[in-house]
Chain A
Amino acid sequence: MAATTYQRVKRGPGWIVLAVVVVALMAYGVGRTDGRLSPAERVESISKRLACPVCDGESVFESRNTASNAIRNEIEVQVAGGVASDDEIITFIEQRYGGQVLLVPKAEGVDALVWILPVVAAVAGVTGLALVFRTWQRAGTGSVTDDDRALVERALRDERGARDDHDEPER
C-alpha cells in the first residue's frame, strides 16, 4: 500500500516539492552574501591572475621571488587604498611590467580567439550531436540481410539453448 503512495509521489508531487526546496535553498544560499571579498582574498584573487615576470609559468600568488613579492606588495597597497577595482589594479600592473604578466588573456585581437574557440567548439559539438541523433533515428530501419538474420539466430540459440522460443527476432 505504502509503495503505491510512494509511486504516486514520485510521479509528480514529489518532484514539485523537490524543485521548490532546491530553488529555495539556492536562493537563500546565494542571497545571504553580498559577494564582497576581504582584502586578503582580493589580493589572492588578483595575484592569481598575474604571472610572475621572471619565472616560468608560475603565478604571482604561487611564486616567492623578489619580483613577485614586489607585485604582491603593490597589489596590497592598492587594495588597502580601496579605490581601484580589480581590473584597474591589473591594468596598472600590466602598464608597469608589460603584457606578459597577464595570466588571463584579454578578449581583444588574436587573444580573443582563446575565449571564442571553446564556445565555437561547444556549439559545434552540440549541433553535431543533434544532427547525428536525427540521422540515426531516421536511419533506424535499415535493411536486414539474410546473413544478419542467420547471425542473430545462431547467437540466440547459443545463448539460450532451447530455453524459450517465443521471442524470435523480427521477420
Chain B
Amino acid sequence: MTAASINGVLGHSALMVGLVASLFGALALGYATVTGDRRLMRTAPNYAWLAGAAGVLASAVMLHALLTYDFDLQYVQDVGSRSTPTLYNIAALWSALEGSILLWLFVLAGYTAVLMRRYRQRLDDPLIAWTLVVMFVVSAFFFFLAFGPTDVFATGAPGVTDGPGPNPLLQNHILVMFHPPILYLGYVGFTVPFAFAMAALITGRVGEGWLLETRRFALVVWGFLSIGILLGGWWSYEVLGWSGVWAWDPVENASFLPWLTGTAYIHSVLVQERRGMLRVWNISLLVATFALTILGTFLTRSGVINSVHAFADGTIGPWLLGFFGVIVVVSLGLIGWRGDRLRSPGAIDSPVSREGAFLANNVIFTVFAFVVLLGTVFPLIVEALQDRRIAVGQPFFDRLTMPIGLVLLFLMAVAPVLPWRKASGELLRDRLFVPAVVGAISLAVAVAVGADQWASLTAFALGGFAAGAAGRQLALATRRQGWRGLVGRANGGMIVHLGIILIAVALAASNGYTRVAEFTMRVGEPVAFDGHTFELLGIEEFETERSQGLKAQVSIDGGQAYAPALTRFLNMGTDIGTPSVRTGFTKDIYLTLEQATEAGATEAQIKVFIKPMILWMWIGGGLVAIGTVLAAFPGRRRRNPIAPVSAAAGADVPPAGADASAERDEPEGVHV
C-alpha cells in the first residue's frame, strides 16, 4: 500500500515538475530573449535538464510500477498482470493511452534536453532561443496532458491484486519492444524542425540558416519514422494472421501522414538550400507535418475513430483538437506576418530540371497525403453531415494510392539524373538509357516468372527503371570517389531510394500475387497447393499461466514442421491466432491455424498463404536505415553550403561553380 502510493506520488510529482520546468523554461528564455537579459538566459538550460529528468523519471516510475505489480495505479490495473513475462510488462508501458503519452513525453523532453545541450553556448542567438521556447511550450502541453486530462498516475479501485495484462496481441511478439519507441523517435522528433521553422518566422530570419541547422536532424527523424512504420508492418505480418503488412487503419494512417509530408520536406529543402526558393512551402510542410502528428493523435486517441489499435478515451480529445487549432492558427498567422520576407527571389529555368522534379515530387506527395487524410476523416464528415455511419477501407486506399505510387516510381527514375537548372533531351536520352535497360530487364524477369496484371507489371518495370537510375548515380559516385561515393546526402539518398524501391516492388508482388487456400488437413494425408505439399503431423496443446492453446504441426514439402497456433487468453476469452512463416528469398509460406478441436486430434483447418517477395520488404527497410545513416554522415564539403548559387540572374550564363554541371554527371548533387 505504501509502496504503491510512492509510485503514484513520485509520478505525479515528476509530471508536475516537468510541467513547471517547461513553462518556466519557455517564459525565462522568451523573456530573456526579448529583453536581452543575459543572466536570466543562462538559467534556461537548467529548465531543460529538469524537464528532461522529469520525463525520464515519469516513465521510470511507471515502468517500476509495472514491474513491481503496483496495482494501486489505475494504469497497472488496466495493462499490468503478474503472469505476463517481464519483457511484455516493459512493453506494457506503451500499450495503452496513458503509457503512450509518457513515451511521447520521454522522447520530447529528451529531444529538448539534447537540443539544449548542443546549443547551450548559442542561446544569445534569437533563432536558437526561440526554437527552444517552442520546444518548451510543446513539452509543457504534453506534461499538462499527462498530468491533467489523462491523469496517467491516477489511483485505481482499491483491493485489486492482479490485472488482465496488455492486449493479447501486444504480448506475443518481440517487435512490440521496438516498433513504438522507434516510431515515436521519428513521430515526435519532427517537433524539432517545426520548432526551428517557428523560430525562423518569429525572428524573421527566414533565409537558409535554420534549414542548415536542422537538415541532418530532419533526416535522422525521418529515418526513425520510416523504420518505425515498417516495423509496425512487420509486426502486423508476424502477429495478426491475415498475412498483410498494411491495412490503411486510421492509426497506421496517423503515422503515415507525417511521413508523407516529411518526405516531401526532405526533398524540397534541397531546392531552398540550392536556389533559395520555396521558403513558405518548406515552412508549411513542417507545420503540416507537426500538425498532422497532433491531428493523428487526436483522431486515434480521442475515440472519434475506432480502429483495432486506437486507445479510445474521451477526455483528451478536446485538448488535442484545441492544440491542433492553435498550431494551425499561430503558424498561419506567423507566415502571413512574415509574408514579405518569405517571398523568395529565385526563379526556375526549366521544368525539366532537378528543382522541377523536386517540385513535382512535392505536388505528388501532397496529393498523396490529401488522399490518405480524406479517406481517414471522411467517415467523420459524413457522420457530421448526415448522421450516417460509413466506412472507408483498404480497397479505397489501394485503388487511389496505386497510381500515385507508380508516378512516384517514375519520378524516382528520372529525377536523380537531372541536373540543376535545366536538362536537354539529349542529356536525358544519354543518362536514362542504362536505367531504362534495367527497367526492361526487370519487366522481362517479371513476365518470365508469371506476372500478368498491368499494374504490377508497370510497377516492376518502373521499379527497375528507378533502381537503375539510383544504381547509376552510386556507380558514378563511387568510381570517382571510392567509398566516399556512398556517403553524403545525395549518395545516401540513392541508397534510401533503392530501399524504397525494393519495398514498393515487394508490396506490388505480394499484393498482386498472394495465393490463398484453406484446407481441412488430416494426419497422414498430404495436401498439395501451388507446388508445395503440406502435411499435418499432429496437434499439440500448450499452456502457460495466462493462456492455453493448440498448435498444429504442419510439415512443408516433407521437411521441417511449422506450427501455427491458436491461443486462448484465459482472462480475455478471444482466440488469438499466431501464424507460422517459412521465409524465403522468393516467397514466404504463411500458415495459420483456423480451427482445431483438441490435442491429439487428427484434423485441423489450416489456411495457407503463398506470398512472394515479402523478405525483400525487410531488406528494403534495412537499406533505408543504412542509407539514412550514410546520408546524415557528413559528406565531403566542396562548397560553402550557404554560398549563393545558381541565382538565375542571367538566364543562360551558368554561375561560377556550377559551370560544367550540365555536361558532366553530378551524382553528388548538393556537394558539387
User: Footprint of B on A, CB under 8 Å?
Assistant: 7, 9-12, 14-15, 18, 21-22, 25-26, 28-30, 32-33, 40-41, 44, 48-49, 51, 55-59, 61-62, 64, 99-105, 110-111, 113-114, 117-118, 121-122, 125-126, 128-129, 132-133, 136-137, 139-142, 144, 148, 151-152, 155-156, 158-160, 167-170
User: Could you tell me if A32 and B452 are in contact, using CB atoms closer than 8 angstroms?
Assistant: yes
Contact check: which of B375, B430, B433, B454 meets A114 at CB < 8 Å? B375
Taking a contact as CB atoms under 8 Å apart, the answer to whether B359 and A129 are in contact is yes
The answer, among A28, A99, A111, A144, for a CB contact under 8 Å with B447, is: A28
With CB as the reference atom, state the residue of chain A lying closest to B355: A136
B653 contacts A140, C-beta separation under 8 Å: no
Contacts of B657 in A (CB 8 A): 156, 159-160
Partner of B371, one of A51, A118, A151: A118
- Given contacts A15-B433, A44-B516, A155-B644, A49 and B393 within 8 Å (CB-CB): yes
Residue contact A151 to B308, C-beta cutoff 8 Å: no
Q: Confirm or deny: B250 has a beta carbon within 8 angstroms of a beta carbon on chain A.
A: yes
- When chains A and B are docked, how far (Å) is the Cα of A158 from the Cα of B389? 65
Q: B393 to chain A: closest CB distance in Å?
A: 3
Q: Which residues of B contact A10 (CB under 8 A)?
A: 429-430, 433
A110 nearest CB across to chain B (Å): 6
Are B385 and A105 in contact, CB atoms less than 8 angstroms apart? no
Digit string of B223-261 for contact with A (CB within 8 Å is 1, else 0)?
000000000000000001010100101100000000000
Q: Do residues B643 and A142 form an inter-chain contact, with CB atoms below 8 A?
A: no
Instruction: Report the nearest B residue to A171, measured CB to CB.
Output: B650
What separation, in Å, do the CA atoms of A49 and B391 have in the docked complex?
10
B651 touches A (CB below 8 Å): yes
A5 to B648: give the CA distance in the assembly, Å: 36
The contact of A22 among B381, B440, B643, by CB within 8 Å, is B440
In the complex, are the beta carbons of B393 and A51 less than 8 A apart?
A: yes
CA distance A125 to B361 in the complex (A): 11
CB-based contact B392/A118 at 8 Å: no
Interface residue? B672 (CB, 8 A) = no
A55 vs B306: C-alpha distance when bound (angstroms): 9
Roughly how many angstroms separate A51 CA and B655 CA in the complex, as a whole number? 59
The complex places the Cα of A66 from the Cα of B249 at a distance, in Å, of 22
Contact between chains at A121 and B640 (CB < 8 Å): no
B117 to chain A, nearest CB (A): 31
Contacts of A32 in B (CB 8 A): 452
C-alpha spacing A114/B395, complex, angstroms: 13
Binding site for A on B (CB under 8 A): 240, 242, 244, 247, 249-250, 277, 305-308, 310, 345-351, 356, 359-360, 363-364, 366-367, 370-371, 374-375, 378, 381-382, 385-386, 388-396, 400, 426, 429-430, 433, 436-437, 439-440, 443-444, 446-447, 451-454, 457-458, 461, 515-518, 575, 577, 639-640, 643-644, 647-651, 653, 655-657, 659
* In the bound complex, CA of A62 to CA of B592 (Å): 12
Instruction: Please tell me which one of the listed residues A11, A121, A122 contacts residue B430 in the complex, with CB atoms under 8 A apart.
Output: A11
A97 and B242 CA atoms in complex are apart in Å by 23
State the Cβ distance, A4 to closest chain B Cβ, in Å.
Answer: 13
Closest Cβ of chain B to A48, distance in Å, is 6
Known contacts being A18-B440, A25-B447, A100-B390, is A125 close to B396, with CB within 8 Å? no
Which residues in A have their C-beta under 8 angstroms from that of B518?
A: 40
Q: Are B461 and A62 in contact, CB atoms less than 8 angstroms apart?
A: no
Contact of B653 among A11, A114, A170 (CB under 8 A): A170
Give A159 to B396 CA distance when docked, in angstroms. Answer: 53
Cα-based distance from A49 to B394 in the complex (angstroms): 8
**Interfacial chain B residues near A12, Cβ < 8 Å:** 429
Q: A41-B516, A170-B649 are in contact. Are A57 and B461 (CB under 8 A)?
A: no
What are 28 A-to-B residue pairs whose CB atoms are below 8 Å? A14-B433, A22-B439, A29-B443, A30-B452, A30-B453, A33-B452, A40-B517, A41-B516, A56-B306, A57-B250, A64-B575, A101-B391, A102-B391, A103-B394, A104-B393, A104-B395, A114-B374, A117-B374, A121-B367, A121-B371, A126-B363, A129-B359, A136-B346, A152-B644, A159-B643, A169-B649, A169-B653, A170-B650
Residues of B within 8 A of A128 (CB): 363
Considering the chains assembled together, what is the distance between the CA atoms of A140 and B375 in angstroms? 39
Residue of B nearest to A149 (CB): B649
CB pair B430–A30 under 8 Å, yes or no, is no
What residues on B are CB-neighbors of A28 within 8 Å? 447
A62 CB to nearest B CB, Å: 4
B429, A11: Cβ atoms closer than 8 Å: yes
Contact status B349-A137, CB under 8 Å: yes
Contact (Cβ within 8 A) A158 B648? no
Q: Among the interface residues A51, A113, A114, which one has the most CB atoms of the partner chain B within 10 A? A: A114
How distant is A131 from chain B, measured CB to nearest CB, in Å? 12
The answer to whether A118 and B453 have CB atoms under 8 Å apart is no
Asked if B363 contacts A99 (CB within 8 A), the reply is no
Q: Is the CB of B393 within 8 A of A156?
A: no
Cross-chain contact of A137 among B350, B385, B447 (Cβ < 8 A): B350
Of the candidates B240, B451, B644, B659, the one whose C-beta lies within 8 Å of that of A62 is B240
Do the beta carbons of B577 and A140 come within 8 Å of each other?
no
Given A26-B443, A49-B395, also A140-B516 (CB < 8 A): no
Give the residue among A33, A44, A62, A100 with the most B Cβ atoms within 10 A: A62
Q: With A and B bound together, what is the CA distance between A117 and B400 in angstroms?
A: 11
Using CB atoms, name the residue of chain A closest to B653. A170
Nearest CB in chain B to that of A6: its residue: B433
- Decide if A15 touches B651 in the complex (CB within 8 Å): no
Q: Is the CB of A169 within 8 A of B656?
A: yes
CA distance A161 to B502 in the complex (A): 45
- Among A21, A55, A170, contact of B440 (Cβ-Cβ < 8 Å): A21
The reply to whether B385 and A110 form a contact with Cβ atoms under 8 Å apart is: yes
Known pairs A122-B367, A140-B651, A158-B640. 6 more at Cβ < 8 A?
A: A103-B392, A118-B370, A129-B360, A133-B356, A141-B650, A167-B659
- Given known pairs A18-B436, A159-B657, A170-B650, the reply for A102 and B390 (CB within 8 Å) is yes
